[in-house]
Amino acid sequence: MNCVCKFSPGNQNVGLPDGLRPRFLAGLSKAKLDSVLSVAKHRQFRASSVIINQEDPAERFFLLTSGQGRHFVITSDGRKILLHWLTPGQIFGGAAILSTPFHYLASTEVLVDSCALVWERQTLREITSSCPALLENALSIAVIENIAWDIAAHVSLSADDARGRVAHLLVSLASAIGEATHDGVDLRVLNEDLAEGANVTPFTVSRCLRDWEHAGLVAKRRGGILLRRPELLLAAG
């Protein structure tokens, strides 16, 4: 596993990976940042590992430092419903920050080998009480990132037909977890993931991708999709 986290000779976390600027840690002085990082535990997770289980007590709070993940819920009839995707710098397990003990509302898994910083709930409560900026940052993330994603998803489900939902999901994922290349935006996502996320059948996803590939908007690749012209997908949907 290729870990880019920084450690002291005593294996204590001493810094974030180069270029990583998590919103959760924004505005902290170097001394305060060092203090917050020093009490975090570093964890590595193999691809397809489930880190958080829906309904479990919220005892840990996570900051993804490398890799890729996503939230999901399991319905009463056993269906897996995909929610937010996660990229380095994003937090999850936010229920652990609450003053009243709560449970996780969704499960979280990593899609590739990943690393995260982990704070135990009691430790997190202690550092947020001495550093209110962390609570403000967490609230900002909840409002700006999570609720905005939910609004976009619900508007798409209410207003779009099946093709439109797939197009909206692809554009959202391109913005959230896509990797820019000279050919377009590369997405490591499967047809089954798109079908679950857009509430359509895998056949509908395959048909949409085939049509868009013929139009030069996307290209299918092993284990993913290349969006050549993301800005034109919504019109094509």
Domains, the chain, ranges and CATH? Answer: 6-155 (2.60.120.10), 160-236 (1.10.10.10)
Asked if 224 and 104 count as a contact pair (C-beta separation under 8 A), the reply is no
CB 116 within 8 A of CB 22: no
What does the pLDDT read at residue 1? 66
**How confident is the model at residue 190, as a pLDDT?**
83
User: If you write DSSP's letter for every residue of the chain in order, what string do you get?
Assistant: -----EE-TTS-EEEPPTT---GGGTT--HHHHHHHHHTPEEEEE-TT-EEE-TTSB--EEEEEEES-EEEEEE-TTS-EEEEEEE-TT-EE-GGGGSSS--B-SSEEEESSSEEEEEEEHHHHHHHHHH-HHHHHHHHHHIIIIIIHHHHHHHHHHHH--HHHHHHHHHHHHHHHH-EEETTEEEE---HHHHHHHHTS-HHHHHHHHHHHHHTTSEEEETTEEEES-HHHHHHH-
Place 153 in a pLDDT band, splitting at 50, 70 and 90: low
What confidence category does residue 123 fall into, taking pLDDT thresholds of 50, 70 and 90? very high
Position 224 pLDDT exceeds 80: yes
Structure tokens at 176: 């959230």
- Taking each helix axis from N to C terminus, what angle separates 202-214 and 191-198, rounded to the nearest 10 degrees? 110
Specify the pLDDT at position 60.
98
Confidence of residue 149 (pLDDT cuts 50, 70, 90): low
What per-residue confidence (pLDDT) applies to 98?
92
pLDDT tens-digit readout, 61-118: 999 999 999 999 998 999 888 888 898 999 999 999 999 999 999 999 999 999 999 9
* Nearest to 169, CA basis, from 223, 230, 224, 108: 230
List, for residues 6-63, the tens digit of each pLDDT value.
777 666 776 888 889 999 999 999 999 999 999 999 999 999 999 999 999 999 999 9
pLDDT for position 218: 95
Residue 156, pLDDT > 90, answer no
In angstroms, the CA 62 to CA 40 distance is: 9
What pLDDT, on a 0 to 100 scale, did the predictor assign at position 196?
80
pLDDT one-digit tens code per residue, 158-196: 767 999 989 988 888 888 778 889 999 998 888 888 888
pLDDT at res. 207? 95
Q: Higher-confidence residue: 32 or 234?
A: 32
Give the pLDDT of residue 155: 66
